[in-house]
Amino acid sequence: MLVYLNGDFLPLEQARVPVLDRGFLFGDGVYEVIPAYGGRPFRLTEHLRRLNHSLGAVRMEAPLENDQWRQIIQRLLDQRMGEDQQIYLQVTRGAYDKRLHAIPEEVHPTVFVMATPLTPRDPALVEQGIAVVTVEDIRWQRCDIKAITLLANILAQQSARDAGAHEAILVRDGLATEGSASNFFLVKKSVILTPPKSNHLLPGITRDLVLELAEKADLPWREREIPVAELREADEVWVTSSTKEVMPVSRLDGQAVANGKPGPMWKKMDALYAEYKAQLQQRLKDSGHE
Ligand code: PDD
């Protein structure tokens, strides 16, 4: 399997970065995870827009133009022609001869991209729904940046695993923000609700698509703050991400969500999502590009 590292395509085993890389020393970098269906990247424009937002927010110049990213990504995907895959893309601030917090005057970033097979969602979990737990959100104030510095997310995810759950929903000042690696939605009285974009959550590409699909299908939706207590009284809870798509939540902190089964609104949204994917793939096949 070839990966991309700083201008070269080389076997994964030969891809090396220096130990003084600021990504390794400080977690000084940003990333993206982009799904690809049938060998075509999904919502790539949106992912590249978010990447450029993250880079700007940490004061890094974009190392590549969008067209260059596209070419690299397609070349990696073509190794498994037509298969569902996921792209992992990371830009760190690079390696220098001294470990200093301050940003070097001249930056030469480390750019790494790889494509790996996409692990399909577990059909049993999609059918039953997943268990989630709530944990305190101990992260910083710039959660809108997709930074590789993920310790707080890792600890939150592990709390979920320790409790036999699949995901943790983070709570800051009594408000639910997002999952450890996902956004969340709830349904109350047939209205789809999710917190508004802010510095306390990552603007999920899947989240935006869910709202877009709700709008197109005339399903009522609103963005507003969600006190954690409301989650416990929700008719439905979902979590979304590029790899989970729209996952129903059937248990929250050990209690059933409503009747403990994925709800009717989730079924509609999951079907709309699948339909959107299928239509997009057909269009890409017909036109040859995004
Ligand atoms: N994470 N919030 C956080 C904290 C995330 O890490 C992610 C995704 C999301 C959902 O974003 P999107 O819909 O664009 O995937 C929200 C990726 C999948 C990861 O870190 O592996």
Question: pLDDT, tens digit, for every residue of 215-263?
Answer: 999 999 999 999 999 999 999 999 999 999 999 999 999 999 999 999 9
Ligand 1 atom at minimal distance to the Cα of residue 244: 18
Select from 117, 149, 184 the last residue of a domain: 117
Ligand 1 atom at minimal distance to the Cα of residue 205: 14
- For residues 203-209, average pLDDT: 98
What CATH number is associated with residue 221? 3.20.10.10
On whether both 146 and 268 belong to a single domain, the answer is yes
Tell me, yes or no, whether 217 lies in a domain.
yes
Rounded Cα gap, residues 211 and 213, in angstroms: 5
pLDDT of residue 284: 77
Beta-strand ranges (E) seen in the chain are 2-5, 8-11, 29-37, 40-41, 85-92, 110-117, 130-136, 167-172, 175-179, 183-188, 191-194, 221-223, 236-241, 245-252, 255-256
What is the strand order of the sheet 110-117 is part of?
8-11, 2-5, 110-117, 85-92, 29-37, 40-41
**Which positions are catalytic?**
146
- For residues 56-72, average pLDDT: 98
Rounded Cα gap, residues 221 and 195, in angstroms: 11
- Could you tell me what percentage of the chain is helix, strand and coil, using 3-state DSSP and rounding each to the nearest 5? 35, 30, 35
CA angle 177, 165, 89 (to 5 degrees): 60
* Ligand 1 pocket member 242 (CB < 6 A): yes
- Per-residue pLDDT of 106-121, as tens digits, reads 999 999 999 999 999 9
Domain limits for position 201: 123-277
Question: How deeply is 11 buried, as exposed, middle or buried, from its count of CB atoms within 10 A (0-12, 13-18, 19+)?
Answer: exposed
- Per-residue pLDDT of 168-202, as tens digits, reads 999 999 999 999 999 999 999 999 999 999 999 99
Dig out the tokens for 110 from the structure.
């480390």
Select from 93, 117, 141 the last residue of a domain: 117
Give the 3-state secondary structure of residue 244.
coil
* Ligand 1 pocket member 239 (CB < 6 A): no
Tell me, yes or no, whether 176 lies in a domain.
yes
* Ligand 1 pocket member 241 (CB < 6 A): yes
pLDDT of residue 4: 99
Tell me, yes or no, whether 86 lies in a domain.
yes
CA angle 36, 157, 214 (to 5 degrees): 50
Tell me, yes or no, whether 284 lies in a domain.
no
Using the mean position of ligand 1's atoms as its centre, give its distance from the Cα of residue 72 in Å: 22
pTM: 0.97
pLDDT of residue 280: 85
pLDDT of residue 285: 76
Q: What are residue 90's DSSP bridge partners?
A: 31, 112
Using the mean position of ligand 1's atoms as its centre, give its distance from the Cα of residue 241 in Å: 5
Select from 117, 145, 167 the last residue of a domain: 117
* Ligand 1 pocket member 178 (CB < 6 A): yes
Tell me, yes or no, whether 289 lies in a domain.
no
Cα separation values, 89 from 19, 76, 164, 275, Å: 19, 11, 30, 27
DSSP 174: T
Using the mean position of ligand 1's atoms as its centre, give its distance from the Cα of residue 180 in Å: 8
Backbone angles phi, psi at 162, to 5 degrees: -60, -30
Ligand 1 atom at minimal distance to the Cα of residue 146: 6
On whether both 257 and 171 belong to a single domain, the answer is yes
Count structural domains, the chain: 2
Residues 6+ apart with CB under 8 A from 137: 152, 156, 170, 171, 172, 177, 200
Minimal-distance CA residue to ligand 1 atom 6: 181
On whether both 111 and 132 belong to a single domain, the answer is no
Using the mean position of ligand 1's atoms as its centre, give its distance from the Cα of residue 261 in Å: 24
pLDDT at position 72 over 70: yes
